[in-house]
Amino acid sequence: MRLALAIGTFFILVIHGVVFYNQFGHQWERNQHTYFDQARVFAKTDAERAALNGRKPRIEQIVVSNFGETRVDRCTTCHIATDDPRFGSYAEPVKTHPYSPALGDQQKNGKWERRHKFSEFGCTVCHDGQGRGLEPEYSHGKDEYWPDPLLGYATQENWRKDFAPKLKGKEYMQANCAQCHTDTAFPGTALVTKGRGLFFSSNCYGCHRIEGLSDGTIGPDLSDVGKKWKLDYLWGRIADPKSILATSIMPKFNLKEEDIKALVIFLKSRKGRNFAETEIQRFKVKLTGGAELVQATIKPVQINPAEMLKQGEKLVLDRACTACHKLGDRDGGIAPDLSYEGLEKDGPWIYEHFKNPKSTMPDSIMPAFRFTDDEFKAMTAYLLTLKGSPAPAQGDAIYKALCLRCHGEKGDGQGPIAEHLDPFPRDLTKSGFMNSKPEARLVASIRNGVAGTSMPAWGKVLSEEQAKAVLGHIQTTFTKEPRRELKAREIPAKNPVAMSQESVSRGETLFVNRCAGCHGKKADGKGPNSLDILPKPRNLRNTFFVNSVDDRRLLESILYGVQGTAMPSWINDGLTNNDAGDLVNFIRSINSKPKGGQNAGAVQ
């Protein structure tokens, strides 16, 4: 016991020794001694030497209060020679900070004068890093938790090894220059300006919001992305979005390395409000939406009627359409194949879709991009020339070529791009649905498409026989159950109730009582039960779809349900033909307002 005690006590003593040693042997003191010794050699007068002899190592610090929150920069404790021009050729840390006209420094009477005086700017305003730190590891921000390591000079150990070397270089500091130098023509922030240009030309703005620049809503808001993330993360998210977040739906853009670098620098400079902005400036930008800034960035292509097709093609290919869509061998893997676009859609539809994607497809996630009308027209013209290659004759080959992208390899509606489509592609393995519909209707869906959804009209690509062949393939491979004789149903061919205000309000009451649980109070298919249901309840505000089906079909769906889905048969539940008629009138009434179409005249 006593021996153990003695050993334990000795142990504590040893630990204290170690702690004291660590406490009093500072690297920065040694650095300052190095500086003093060398300065004594340089000294020309005795007074200077005496002054140096009187100096003892101490913590130097600059309190910077002009740039955001007050900073305490102790960098000059080690980098003590930063402002001493005699140490230009020495090694860090005891080295003169370079003078350069690019930094605004001027030479007067053979003496350099700094534009950015350290006593005013400190160090971290430009360089980042942790100003208060006194150990290189911490103060350079190499510690994994420091949000802003020395910009362009230090990388952190947990950063991806393949990116880290690319994240070094003085040019990254432009992100900090841009905190004050917001002028886009400023030569010192060329890469920030380039990145801003890429942000628009690569259509990043379609999905992402940056306060005062863009207002996309699909992706995360990037207004203060530079404050949230380190370079490593920004680079990774752009270069390979899925590598960082497997569920990311951001496409992998076809960017060159220097383009990624410019984008990273631009994003790093987005820190909410920068030093140059005042509250009132920011508020003004909010009011005007920053239109001037945007116009200064995107230069519209002057469309020349003779070269319209070529210019359209160039726009489609250059402006990252294929980051989502498939076109030839370029495939973004998010949005539908454009290869047959000219056969599936007509000019006004495509043009409308460009102007406002939701106007032709109410639940589309495609952002509205800011092209000029002429550019849109050129792109429309180009897309109309896309006819694809002739479809094969065999059912399975057709399915592979045209259907698989949405309906999936197993026909279950889980194709590679299915999750981005709304309504969801039909699950073709549900025999309840497939076998309750007459073959004619299924063929019609293939050849005429389904309005208001992503199902295109294949009529100009597939002949009646080809459509039947692919349907046969679907029946045998996915649905499996053979078709049966359909029971005749008693459905009025026309709505038995005339359209009237009373009928609509009766229908609305019925709808709220019986349908809103799944279809939602707004009839947008987003009722509380909709989350657990697949296929999702129909969005009954999808005017294109609702207007494309006749009363008889609506009545059938209401009265007899839709087999293979969650829609029940209401005829067994006390709903009369007249009730169903009221419901149909209600559904028609909420879709009666003309939607879109105001731009249709623009396209010949």
Partner 1 sequence: MSRPTAPKTSFLATLMDIPRNVWSSIFRNPLPSNDLERSATSFTNFFLHIHPVKVHKNSLRPAYTFGLGLISFFLFVILIVSGILLMFYYVPSTTQAYDRMLDLRGSVAFGTLLRNMHRWAAHGMVAVVFLHLCRVFLTGSYKKPREFNWVVGVILFLLTLFMSFTGYLLPWDQLAFWAITVGTAIAGYAPVIGKDIQFLLMGGTSVGQEALLRFYVLHVAVLPAILTLMIAIHFWRIRKDGGLSRPEDADPKVTLEPMETSSAPKASVLEPKKVYGFQGLVRGPLTKVGQIPDNTVFSWPNLFLAELFTFVVTLSAILILSLLFNAPLEEPVNALHPPNPAKAPWYFLGLQEMVSYSAFWGGIGVPGIFVLLLLGTPYLDRGPKGVGKWFSRDRLLANTIFITFVVANIIFVIIGTFFRGANWAFVTPW
Between residues 225 and 474, which has the closer beta carbon with respect to partner 1? 225
Q: Are 167 and 232 in contact (CB under 8 A)?
A: yes
| Shortest distance, position 93 Cβ to partner 1, whole Å | 16
Host H or E run for residue 72:
strand 71-73
Handedness of CA 424, 427, 428, 431 (dihedral sign): negative
Which listed residue (17, 18, 165, 592) binds partner 1 by CB under 8 A?
A: 18
Of the candidate residues 139, 176, 189, 203, the single one contacting partner 1 (CB under 8 A): 139
Instruction: Please state the closest distance from residue 124 (CB atom) to partner 1, in A.
Output: 12
CA angle, corner 367, sides to 457 and 321, nearest 5?
70
Q: How far is the CB of 170 from partner 1 (least distance, A)?
A: 25
Q: Does position 147 bind partner 1 by CB under 8 A?
A: yes
Rg (CA), the chain: 34
Closest separation in Å from C-beta 23 to partner 1: 6
Beta carbon of residue 196, minimum distance to partner 1 (angstroms, whole number): 22
User: Of 132-140, 370-378, 384-392, 466-474, which part binds partner 1 (CB under 8 A)?
Assistant: 132-140
Spatial contact of 197 and 265, defined as CB atoms under 8 Å apart? no
Q: Which is nearer to partner 1, 139 or 322 (CB)?
A: 139
Binding residue (CB under 8 A) for partner 1 from 44, 145, 302, 593: 145
Q: What are phi and psi of 443, to 5 degrees?
A: -60, -40
- By the rule CB under 8 A, 67 interacts with partner 1: no
Concatenating the DSSP letter of every residue in 551-567 gives HHHHHHHHHH--TTSS-
Nearer to partner 1, 12 or 280 (CB): 12
**Residue 459, helix vs strand vs coil:** coil
The phi and psi torsions of 184 (rounded to 5 degrees) equal -70, -20
Q: Considering only 130-138, 163-171, 210-218, 419-427, which stretch makes contact with partner 1 by CB under 8 A?
A: 130-138
Q: Which is nearer to partner 1, 70 or 598 (CB)?
A: 70
* Cross-strand pairs, 110: none
71: phi then psi, degrees, rounded to nearest 5: -115, 150
Provide the minimum distance between the beta carbon of 78 and partner 1 in the complex, in angstroms, as a whole number: 12
- In the bound state with partner 1, the residue whose beta carbon lies nearer, of 5 and 306, is 5
Note whether 498 binds partner 1 by CB under 8 A: no
Indicate whether 19 belongs to the interface with partner 1 (CB under 8 A): yes
Give, as ranges, the residues between 213 and 232 that touch partner 1 (CB under 8 A): 224, 227-228
Could you tell me if 63 and 71 are in contact, meaning their C-beta atoms sit under 8 angstroms apart? yes
Q: Are strands 326-327 and 330-331 parallel, antiparallel or unpaired?
A: antiparallel
End-to-end Cα distance, the chain: 101
* Contact flag: residue 11 with partner 1 (CB under 8 A): yes
Examine residue 93 and say whether the peptide bond preceding it is cis (omega within 30 degrees of 0).
Answer: yes
Which residue lies nearer to partner 1 by CB, 117 or 227? 227
CB of 232 to partner 1, least distance (A): 14
Closest CB to partner 1 among residues 63, 276: 63
Q: Tell whether residue 132 is a contact of partner 1 (CB under 8 A).
A: yes
Q: Residue 211 or 363: which CB sits closer to partner 1?
A: 211
- Token reading at 32: 């300052």
Q: Does 146 bind partner 1 (CB under 8 A)?
A: yes
CB 434 within 8 A of CB 486: no
Give the DSSP H or E segment for 582: helix 577-590
- Interacting span for partner 1 (CB under 8 A) from 127-135, 316-324, 388-396, 425-433: 127-135
Q: Which two tokens stand for residue 331?
A: 């495939």
**Is 133 one of the binding residues for partner 1 (CB under 8 A)?**
yes
Which listed residue (29, 60, 83, 135) binds partner 1 by CB under 8 A?
Answer: 135
Q: Are 34 and 92 in contact (CB under 8 A)?
A: no
Q: Which stretch binds partner 1 (CB under 8 A): 14-22, 33-41, 157-165, 287-295?
A: 14-22
Nearer to partner 1, 19 or 499 (CB): 19
Looking at 135-143, 196-204, 249-257, 378-386, which segment touches partner 1 (CB under 8 A)? 135-143
User: In whole angstroms, how close is the CB of 133 to partner 1 at the nearest point?
Assistant: 5
Binding residues with partner 1: total (CB under 8 A): 31
Identify which of 140, 170, 158, 173 has the alpha carbon closest to the alpha carbon of residue 233.
158
Taken in order 391, 397, 399, 401, is the CA torsion positive or negative? negative
Cα distance between residue 402 and residue 397, in whole Å: 9
Assess contact for 420 and 406: CB atoms under 8 A: no
| Choices 100-108, 142-150, 352-360, 362-370; region in contact with partner 1 by CB under 8 A | 142-150
Greatest pairwise CA separation for the chain in angstroms: 115
Cα(406)–Cα(555) distance, rounded to whole angstroms? 29
* Residue 6, H or E segment: helix 2-24
* Least distance between partner 1 and beta carbon 250 (Å): 16
User: For partner 1, which is the closer residue by CB, 8 or 169?
Assistant: 8
Q: What angle do CA 546, 547, 548 make, to 5 degrees?
A: 90
Nearest Cα to Cα of residue 355 among 339, 340, 366, 341: 366
**Could you tell me where the beta strands, DSSP code E, fall in 325-420?**
326-327, 330-331
**Of 63, 72, 102, 276, which one interacts with partner 1 (CB under 8 A)?**
72
Q: Which is nearer to partner 1, 2 or 487 (CB)?
A: 2
Please select the residue that binds partner 1; options are 36, 90, 99, 138, rule is CB under 8 A. 138
59 binds partner 1 (CB under 8 A): yes
Which of these ranges, 4-12, 104-112, 414-422, 500-508, lies near partner 1 under the rule CB under 8 A? 4-12
Query: Per-residue contact track with partner 1, 459 to 478, x per CB under 8 A?
Result: --------------------
* 488 in contact with partner 1 (CB under 8 A): no
Cβ atoms < 10 Å from Cβ of 7? 9
Q: Does 63 participate in binding partner 1 (rule CB under 8 A)? A: no
- Sorted by sequence, the CB contacts under 8 Å of residue 526 that are 6+ apart come out as 520, 537, 539
Task: With beta carbons less than 8 A apart as the criterion, state whether 93 and 78 touch.
Answer: yes
Gap between the Cα atoms of 291 and 349, Å rounded: 28
Looking at beta carbons only, is 248 or 356 nearer to partner 1? 248
Binding site for partner 1 (CB under 8 A): 1-2, 4-5, 8-9, 11-12, 15-16, 18-19, 23, 59, 69, 72, 74, 130, 132-135, 138-139, 145-147, 224, 227-228, 245
